[in-house]
Structure 1
Amino acid sequence: MATLSVTDREQAESPGAGEPVARWPVLSPRAGRWLAAGLGGLAGAVLFYAAHRGMPDDSYITLDYARNLALHGHWGLTEFRNSNTATSPLNVWLLAAGILATGGRPVVAAGLVLVLATALAGGWSAALADILGRRRSVVAGLVVGLLVTSPIFASVVGMESFLGAALMVGVARYAAQRRAVAAGVVTGLAVLCRPDLAVPAVVVLAVLFVGVAPRAPRRMFLAGGVAAVVVLPWHVWSWFVLGGFVPDTLVIKTGGAFPNGEVFGNGPLFFVDRWPVAMALISAVVVAGLGALVASVLAWARGSGRLADRVVVACGVAGLAHYAVYAAMGVSSYLWYYAPSLGLITVCAALGAAELSSRRIGALTAALAVVAGAGIGLQTALGVPWAQPALFGNWATSGQYLAAGEQLGRTVPPGRSVLAPGEIGALAYGCGCDIVDGFSDHDRLMALVAQREATSGPVGRFLLRLDTLHADRSPVRRTDHVLRYVAGTGPGWPTDVPGRGPGRLVLDPPGADAAAVSLNGE
């Protein structure tokens, strides 16, 4: 007699398990997953074509790191100074590999990594649907479709947001099967993608491993051990060699509220006022996802015990936990900080729609498809490819920064340094010069650390000193020039973006830098 696996027994005992599960015609489960991965990659390629000219400035910070790693073997935003401000080492490594594979074309490499991420999201979503006995086409189609059309995700192309979302789907997919080693590997990769993904990953592992079988806690500890083996070598090397156990962006981006009082916790309220249509679409997905979470919590509380309910609870609680941690930290409301929570809630929405779809009620699926279509309309109304995404907060488009950077590189003599105006990614990419701020110069970052230590409590001060235990604390060196952003028209390199209007970048003469510490406040 054949022995059923844990997952098979759960599905056999679940209500509705005897109902036929809709699958794509003729395709085996493996073929269906590969097809979902292929279609996911295609969706990523289409999005990248639309977004490749309008990637945000922070995407170019990552590209700067990847280009320097691939071409110079140097870990830094520029090749002239040491820095440790790449939040996602995994994304940098993949981009560097893409740069080498494409003969030195970083932007194309960004497209390849996006295609990889959306392909993984499609394939792992399809596998998760098969494990849970849900319609593969609904789950994979909605997960990928809602991610690539999301105004938030589409506005941060080139960053690690899609990769992080895909990896969290992978954590849920392997934890649902209680495959501890695979879940641990993907969890480790998720933490290398973004250190803060440790929070939702641990929640997913805990919900899907602990308390559901006698030996399940052991499997969770095994998964955690495997994840540590994947993660720790990089972080230990970073601690000793780069001067920080975690990326220095933790110090830069936890500087508190913007001047208008906007922080992560209240950021969506400001977004509604700034981008009402986009936030209406995002809110529709969030409401659907939270509704699925509530339904699954109630079903679990009634003793249903279905694996599908546990996965929805795991993803939903993980997303809420990530949001709560960031709100408690009081970090600023950068768009990509919302991506982990939104990605996990999107998975909940897709699974909830597939649950209703299996009961021949397709209203939620159709509604979410309409939301995705409206997201496409919102993005393509900007033109294709667009110069800037629908949600945008930089002082200039990347195209304007790149043009100014190229002119800056021709203007500043070799060996001279320039203080950045507050945004540095595309300028550094365009000029290839020694452009300086806290993102590119570790000495300036350590000056900020010293300020933060002086104002922190005992615990915060201890953690900062532990993190920077092996860091070099050299004095800040003055730059030769200062590049300033000035509102309005006049001499300088012109900029003009929605919400800010005309501006210009002005290069001051030598000696203007009074040892200032510029730390990208946007």
Structure 2
Amino acid sequence: MCRRSSGYYAPTLAALALSATLGLAALSAPVAARWARTTSVAIGAGLLVLTAIPWWHGVTTKTPLREMPVHGNWALPGEYEKIGRKLGAAVEKAPVRSAGEVGALAYFCECQVVDKFSDRARLVERINDARERSWLYRLNYLMLDTDELERDRLKPDYWLDWRSGPNVGVGGWSTTGVYRGSGHFELRPDRPAHKPHPDDQGQLPSQASK
């Protein structure tokens, strides 16, 4: 997804605060009750300050908010919106191979963006390898017909390629990302030869989180 939020950390902070509260409650015997109450108030105040300072800074200096404080996207949300709409106008309903990130582009493009999430046939080789290595994978994919997946494989008419550096051509779109820095997307009628696609390397989705 394009718009990553610092709210991703809210569950972690809430869990820490809850753990601290429960721990203090367990210690709040008559002798420790006053200390527990004082410590609880101090921890609560500290968490409020830690939450309020960055948000106040963001509200006062970056309103309206054009990007989340913490994200690793290759382009800003506004850039993805612009690129997605222009990409959709260029390819119409023709399938496009993604460059890696897909969520916002597919949303604004309203076209068929092909990757391992929209076309499971691109995972057939890895699934078969996993079946050979683990009985759990064999059980998990017991009813999956990989031959049928291969027959239904989506064949892209265009390739979207991301490259670092400024866009010097007429058929590309510039991007600004925190994770990758400045770069640009290029729309190509064939597969880029200079590097493998992100989907062609790495692991199965279930393995990537390990």
What TM-score, normalized by structure 1, do the two folds share?
Answer: 0.31
Match of 1:449 in 2: 127
Task: Report the AA paired with residue 2 of structure 2.
Answer: D
Aligned counterpart for 1:364 among listed residues 43, 51, 61: 43
Match of 1:483 in 2: 160
Match of 1:388 in 2: 67
Tell me how far apart the structure 2 counterparts of residues 500 and 381 of structure 1 sit (CA, whole Å): 27
Aligned counterpart for 1:504 among listed residues 184, 188, 195: 184
Q: For the structure 1 residues 517 and 494, does the alpha-carbon distance in structure 2 shift closer, same or farther, using more than 3 Å as the test?
A: closer
Task: Report the AA paired with residue 166 of structure 2.
Answer: T
Q: Tell whether the 8 Å contact from 2:6 to 2:69 is kept in structure 1 after alignment.
A: no
How big is each residue's C-alpha offset from its partner over 1:107-127, in whole Å with a ceiling of 9 and x where there is no partner?
Answer: xxxxxxxxxxxxxxxxxxxxx
- Give 1:502 shift: 1.7
Task: Report the AA paired with residue 15 of structure 2.
Answer: L
- Aligned length in residues: 185
Tell me how far apart the structure 1 counterparts of residues 104 and 77 of structure 2 sit (CA, whole Å): 6
2:107 matches 1:434: no
Aligned counterparts, 1:297-316, within 5 A: none
Two-structure CA RMSD over aligned residues (Å): 3.3
Match of 1:282 in 2: none
Match of 1:57 in 2: 2
Tell me how far apart the structure 2 counterparts of residues 373 and 379 of structure 1 sit (CA, whole Å): 10
Q: For the structure 1 residues 434 and 447, does the alpha-carbon distance in structure 2 shift closer, same or farther, using more than 3 Å as the test?
A: farther
2:76 matches 1:397: yes
- Give 1:451 shift: 4.2
Percent of residue pairs bearing the same amino acid type: 31
Aligned counterparts, 1:68-147, within 5 A: none
Q: For the structure 1 residues 438 and 503, does the alpha-carbon distance in structure 2 shift closer, same or farther, using more than 3 Å as the test?
A: same
Tell me how far apart the structure 1 counterparts of residues 80 and 15 of structure 2 sit (CA, whole Å): 33
Tell me how far apart the structure 1 counterparts of residues 192 and 184 of structure 2 sit (CA, whole Å): 19
How big is each residue's C-alpha offset from its partner over 1:301-344, in whole Å with a ceiling of 9 and x where there is no partner?
Answer: xxxxxxxxxxxxxxxxxxxxxxxxxxxxxxxxxxxxxx5xx542
- Give 1:487 shift: 0.8
Match of 1:376 in 2: 55
Secondary structure, counterpart of 2:186 in structure 1: strand
2:139 matches 1:466: yes
Aligned counterparts, 1:253-264, within 5 A: none
Tell me how far apart the structure 1 counterparts of residues 197 and 145 of structure 2 sit (CA, whole Å): 17
- Give 1:429 shift: 0.4
2:27 matches 1:347: no
- Give 1:387 shift: 2.0
Task: Report the AA paired with residue 428 of structure 1.
Answer: A
Task: Report the AA paired with residue 465 of structure 1.
Answer: R
Tell me how far apart the structure 1 counterparts of residues 119 and 192 of structure 2 sit (CA, whole Å): 15
Tell me how far apart the structure 1 counterparts of residues 124 and 104 of structure 2 sit (CA, whole Å): 23
Q: For the structure 1 residues 452 and 57, does the alpha-carbon distance in structure 2 shift closer, same or farther, using more than 3 Å as the test?
A: farther
How big is each residue's C-alpha offset from its partner over 1:345-385, in whole Å with a ceiling of 9 and x where there is no partner?
Answer: 232134457787x6341322222222222242454366134
Q: Tell whether the 8 Å contact from 2:99 to 2:197 is kept in structure 1 after alignment.
A: no
Q: For the structure 1 residues 440 and 366, does the alpha-carbon distance in structure 2 shift closer, same or farther, using more than 3 Å as the test?
A: same
Secondary structure, counterpart of 1:519 in structure 2: helix
Q: Tell whether the 8 Å contact from 1:382 to 1:389 is kept in structure 2 after alignment.
A: no
Q: Tell whether the 8 Å contact from 1:353 to 1:364 is kept in structure 2 after alignment.
A: no
Task: Report the AA paired with residue 484 of structure 1.
Answer: D
Aligned counterparts, 1:156-235, within 5 A: 156=8, 165=11
What TM-score, normalized by structure 2, do the two folds share?
Answer: 0.71
Tell me how far apart the structure 2 counterparts of residues 353 and 374 of structure 1 sit (CA, whole Å): 26
Tell me how far apart the structure 1 counterparts of residues 62 and 74 of structure 2 sit (CA, whole Å): 20
Greater helix percent: which structure? 1
Q: Tell whether the 8 Å contact from 1:397 to 1:495 is kept in structure 2 after alignment.
A: yes
Q: For the structure 1 residues 417 and 499, does the alpha-carbon distance in structure 2 shift closer, same or farther, using more than 3 Å as the test?
A: closer
Match of 2:103 in 1: 425
- Give 1:386 shift: 2.0
- Give 1:417 shift: 0.9
Q: For the structure 1 residues 497 and 512, does the alpha-carbon distance in structure 2 shift closer, same or farther, using more than 3 Å as the test?
A: closer
Q: For the structure 1 residues 448 and 430, does the alpha-carbon distance in structure 2 shift closer, same or farther, using more than 3 Å as the test?
A: farther
List runs of 5+ in structure 2 lacking aligned partners: 203-207
Tell me how far apart the structure 1 counterparts of residues 60 and 178 of structure 2 sit (CA, whole Å): 14
How big is each residue's C-alpha offset from its partner over 1:381-433, in whole Å with a ceiling of 9 and x where there is no partner?
Answer: 6613422222211111222112111111100042x211000100000101111
Q: Tell whether the 8 Å contact from 1:417 to 1:433 is kept in structure 2 after alignment.
A: yes
Secondary structure, counterpart of 1:57 in structure 2: coil
Match of 2:205 in 1: none
Q: For the structure 1 residues 407 and 465, does the alpha-carbon distance in structure 2 shift closer, same or farther, using more than 3 Å as the test?
A: same
Tell me how far apart the structure 1 counterparts of residues 59 and 199 of structure 2 sit (CA, whole Å): 33
Task: Report the AA paired with residue 125 of structure 2.
Answer: A
Secondary structure, counterpart of 2:84 in structure 1: helix
